[in-house]
Each structure stands twice: as structure tokens, then as C-alpha cells.
Amino acid sequence: MARTVGSSGPKTAEAIRAAGIRLIYEHGFEAMSLRQLAAEVGLQPGSLYKYFDTKQDLLFDIVREHLEDLLAKIADALDGIVDPVARLAAFAAFHLRYHMTLKSNVYIANMELRSLEPDNRAIIVAMRKRYEAILIDILREGQAAGALHAAEPRVAAFAILAMLTGICNWYRADGPMTQDELVTLHVDLVLGGVGAKRQAVHKAG
Amino acid sequence: MARTVGSSGPKTAEAIRAAGIRLIYEHGFEAMSLRQLAAEVGLQPGSLYKYFDTKQDLLFDIVREHLEDLLAKIADALDGIVDPVARLAAFAAFHLRYHMTLKSNVYIANMELRSLEPDNRAIIVAMRKRYEAILIDILREGQAAGALHAAEPRVAAFAILAMLTGICNWYRADGPMTQDELVTLHVDLVLGGVGAKRQAVHKAG
């Protein structure tokens, strides 16, 4: 039984994470049992503890890794872009593309905040705030430069994030619009919303 | 034990619904037990069945009633408004105000679609589509009249609804901005997003 550990340890850990994401997405965190999770990856329930100490740790790990990834990738996406309107367009395009591909992780990160224990929750909330602050700063800079209207950048940022994240609810890779078309449509909604003019900004990625 | 039924039947049913909403909001539908729900309203678990047949019926009832209410109230909010931009502003203002007050019902209606059985789910999805269609039609009329830009009204409607519903995630009645200020900010984002000019449209309610 213990043979799954050892050289295949990291692979097993990854399989457990993936199965955990799937089960939490389908049933909710509280309803997911460790027995169910173990069965999903072909382990005995007792063996799961070689990979994580508690169910709570697994949830925390899934949500934290999602946010670490998001924070690293947004930094890349904005790297080298100076103009606030161009940064806003790049932020919106990045957020949208990211949320078209990682739907269940995002869903869990948003929905199961309620299931995180207070200390874990505080860490995750702080990471979310770091991400939100990037958009708030862009709006603030744009407002200061007279390039857009965002008298309340914090609230505008929340509204924009909700709009862009909403794509998780209905996006299908085989839908009638391409990812590029959806990005253009949403970036136009965002820029128009704050009264900014779209510029010739194209960044690979 | 059966004394709670009788003249207080409707009151008990209402208490069960309210407790159900609270418990599903906190724990998720699958994780909520009927034993927990019964304890919350001071009934024996066996007595719950006088009010609803299954846990699934309770969820369906909560979500359906939310959507019936939403559909009735949006009809009222738009009644007598003809101009598409004014209708768009009225739709956005209504949706926002509604979602600032009924957060947990909305959360459940969105999150626990996954927990509805196929037949129930189909009914709810059809009701949601009727609501979405109201906004899609407004955008389509505005586009046809040259009053706004919404080349893909369906996708634009999804984006706008996600943005407005997002207020459930953070709105607090004791926050720094009033409901009116938040409505103005969001309506401006919506109208700006589709390139429509805000008009002197004020409707009571």
C-alpha cells in the first residue's frame, strides 16, 4: 500500500490535488470526504496523510497555489508596460485569459473562502488584496494622469474583477467566439466603463 | 412534537426556509444535514417532512422563489421606460439594489445550481435565461437604435450581470459609500462600457 509513495511521491501529490479540486468543485469542500478522495486516486484513506496533514491543509494548499500563480503571472503580463490605459488593458486581458483556462481552481478559491480556518483565510485574503491592489493602483494612476475616470478606484476595481471573473460561469472552449474575440469585447467594456480610449496596445502572451 | 404545525404552519415553513438558506450559505448544500436544519428551527428531524418532501425540494424551492421574485421585480422596475439607454440604466440600478439586499439567496442560487437535480436545474436555468434575455433585448434594441455599442449583446449581458452581481461579494450596509453612490458608479461603468451616454433618467424606487 505504501508503494505509491517514494519515487512517485510528487506525482501522487499532484494527482491528489487534481482530484481534490475536482471533488470540491462538484460537491463543495465540507461535503467531500477523504475516503472519496483516496478512492479517486487509488489510495487507502490512511495513506493520504503522507501527502497532507488535514483536509483543511489540502484546501489551503489549492487556494494558495492558485493565488501565487496568479500573482506571478500578472507581474509578467504587466512587465514593461508603463501607460496606465495600456496597463489596464493588459490587466483585463490577462485576467480573462487566466480565468478562461483554470475555471475550477478559481471557483474553489472564490467559493470556499468560507471553509478556510481563520489563520489560513487571513493569508489568502491578504494575497487577494495584493492582486486587487495592482488593479486599484492602475486605476489610481490613470485617474491622476487624467487618462480615465475612476473617482473610487477600489470599488471600480471590484466591479471590473467581478465582470472579468464572470467568464468562468459560462465560457466553453468550443463556443462561438474565440478567446481573442472575448478578450477584445471585455477589454472594450472595461476601458469604456472608465472612459478610457483603447490604444494600439498589443502584447504577446 | 407535531404541535408546531397547524396554525403556525406557514410561519414554521418560513423559518425552515430561512434556516435552510443560512445553513446552505455557510456549509454548502451537500454538507447541510436535515438533522442540523431541524435543530435550527426546534423541530424533530421527522417533522421536517410536513413542510417539504426532500432536501432537494427545499433547495429547489429557495432558488425558484428567488428567481420568481427577481423576474417580477425587474418587470416593475422597467415598466413604462422606453428608451433603451434609460432601460439599461434602470436594469443595472435594479439588479444592483436587489443584490445589495439579498446576498445569501443570490449566492445559493448561483453556487448550488450544481446541486439541483436535472429536471429542477432545467427549470431554474430557463428562469435565469428569461432574466438574462431582458438585458440582452435592451442591448440589442440600443444597438439597433445606434444608442450604444453591443455587437455581441449576449456576451455583453453576461459580463454586465457578472459585474453587477459581484457586489454581493463585498457590499456591507455600513461601508463608506451609500447604495445610491454605488448605483451611480456601477451604472456609469455599464453605460460607459457600451459607449452610451448617461441621461437625466430618474425613476423612484
Are B119 and B36 contained in the same domain? Answer: no
Q: Average model confidence (pLDDT) for chain B? A: 89
pLDDT, one tens digit per residue, over A172-202 is: 889 999 999 999 999 999 999 999 976 654 4
- CB contact under 8 Å between B160 and A163, yes or no, is yes
A94 located within any domain: yes
**Among residues of chain A, what percentage have pLDDT more than 90?**
69
B99 located within any domain: yes
Contact list in B for residue A182 (CB cut-off 8 A) is 155
B204 located within any domain: no
CATH of the domain at A184: 1.10.357.10
What is the rounded CA–CA span in Å between residue B16 and residue B21?
Answer: 9
Contact list in A for residue B165 (CB cut-off 8 A) is 162, 166
Are B138 and B95 contained in the same domain? Answer: yes
- CB contact under 8 Å between A163 and B162, yes or no, is yes
**Among residues of chain B, what percentage have pLDDT more than 70?**
92
Q: Which residue carries 475555471 as its cell?
A: A103
A203 located within any domain: no
Q: What is the per-residue pLDDT for A111?
A: 80
Q: What is the per-residue pLDDT for B115?
A: 93
Q: What is the per-residue pLDDT for B6?
A: 43
Whether B33 shows a pLDDT value over 70: the answer reads: yes
A73 located within any domain: yes
CATH of the domain at A20: 1.10.10.60
**B133 interface with A at CB cutoff 8 Å:** no
Higher local confidence (pLDDT), A60 or A199: A60
Contact list in A for residue B151 (CB cut-off 8 A) is 185
- CB contact under 8 Å between A166 and B165, yes or no, is yes
What is the rounded CA–CA span in Å between residue B173 and residue B152?
Answer: 35
Q: What is the per-residue pLDDT for A119?
A: 97
Task: Report the range of poorest mean pLDDT among A146-155, B44-53, B64-73.
Answer: B44-53
Residue of chain A whose alpha carbon sits nearest to that of B195: A192
Q: What is the per-residue pLDDT for A180?
A: 96
Cell of B71: 423576474
Whether B137 shows a pLDDT value over 90: the answer reads: yes
**A125 interface with B at CB cutoff 8 Å:** no
Q: What is the per-residue pLDDT for B70?
A: 94
Q: Are B139 and B194 in contact (CB under 8 A)?
A: yes
Domain that holds residue B6: 1-52
Are A67 and A34 contained in the same domain? Answer: no
- CB contact under 8 Å between A167 and B162, yes or no, is yes
Segment A147-174 mean pLDDT: 93
**B176 interface with A at CB cutoff 8 Å:** no
Cell of B88: 439599461
B170 located within any domain: yes
pLDDT confidence band for A43 (50 / 70 / 90): very high
Domain boundary residue, one of A52, A72, A90:
A52
Task: Report the range of poorest mean pLDDT among A125-129, B181-185, B195-199.
Answer: B195-199
Nearest to A16 by CA among A3, A42, A25: A42
Are B6 and B83 contained in the same domain? Answer: no
**B113 interface with A at CB cutoff 8 Å:** no
Segment A120-127 mean pLDDT: 96
Are B65 and B42 contained in the same domain? Answer: no
Neighbours of A185 (CB within 10 A): 18
pLDDT, one tens digit per residue, over B74-99 is: 999 999 999 999 999 999 999 999 99
Task: Point out the residue among A110, A151, A162 whose CB comes nearest to the CB of B163.
Answer: A162
Are B85 and B181 contained in the same domain? Answer: yes
Whether B198 shows a pLDDT value over 80: the answer reads: no
Q: Give the total residue count for chain A.
A: 205
Q: What is the per-residue pLDDT for A142?
A: 97
**A165 interface with B at CB cutoff 8 Å:** yes
Q: What is the per-residue pLDDT for A197?
A: 76
Task: Report the range of poorest mean pLDDT among B51-55, B109-113, B171-175.
Answer: B109-113
pLDDT, one tens digit per residue, over B149-182 is: 998 999 999 999 999 999 888 888 899 999 999 9
Task: Point out the residue among B114, B181, B195 whose CB comes nearest to the CB of A192.
Answer: B195
- CB contact under 8 Å between B193 and A195, yes or no, is no
Are A83 and A23 contained in the same domain? Answer: no
Whether A7 shows a pLDDT value over 60: the answer reads: no
B199 located within any domain: no
Are B120 and B150 contained in the same domain? Answer: yes
Residue of chain B whose alpha carbon sits nearest to that of A160: B163
Q: What DSSP designation does A65 have?
A: H
Q: Is the dihedral of CA B103, B104, B106, B112 positive or negative?
A: positive
Are B65 and B164 contained in the same domain? Answer: yes
Domain boundary residue, one of B29, B52, B75:
B52
3-state SS, chain B, equals CHHHCHHHHHHHHHHHHHHHHHHHHHHCCCCCCHHHHHHHHCCCHHHHHHCCCCHHHHHHHHHHHHHHHHHHHHHHHHCCCCCHHHHHHHHHHHHHHHHHHCHHHHHHHHHHHHHCCHHHHHHHHHHHHHHHHHHHHHHHHHHHCCCCCCCCHHHHHHHHHHHHHHHHHCCCCCCCCCHHHHHHHHHHHHHHHCCCCCCCCCCCC
What is the rounded CA–CA span in Å between residue B188 and residue B148?
Answer: 13
Q: Are B12 and B41 in contact (CB under 8 A)?
A: yes
Higher local confidence (pLDDT), B11 or B146: B146
**B156 interface with A at CB cutoff 8 Å:** yes
Are B164 and B70 contained in the same domain? Answer: yes
pLDDT confidence band for B8 (50 / 70 / 90): low
Nearest to B196 by CA among B152, B142, B130, B122: B142
Q: What is the per-residue pLDDT for B203?
A: 47
**A53 interface with B at CB cutoff 8 Å:** no
Domain boundary residue, one of B52, B68, B84:
B52
ipTM: 0.84
Q: What is the per-residue pLDDT for A3?
A: 42
- Gap from B76 CA to chain A (nearest CA, Å): 25
Are B19 and B114 contained in the same domain? Answer: no
pLDDT, one tens digit per residue, over A65-96 is: 999 999 999 999 999 999 999 999 999 999 99
Whether A1 shows a pLDDT value over 60: the answer reads: no
Domain tally, chain B: 2
A198 located within any domain: no
Higher local confidence (pLDDT), B15 or A103: B15
- CB contact under 8 Å between A155 and B192, yes or no, is no
Are A141 and A68 contained in the same domain? Answer: yes
Segment A44-52 mean pLDDT: 89
**A152 interface with B at CB cutoff 8 Å:** yes
A–B interface: beta-carbon pairs under 8 A: 105
What is the rounded CA–CA span in Å between residue B139 and residue B161?
Answer: 12
- CB contact under 8 Å between B30 and A29, yes or no, is no
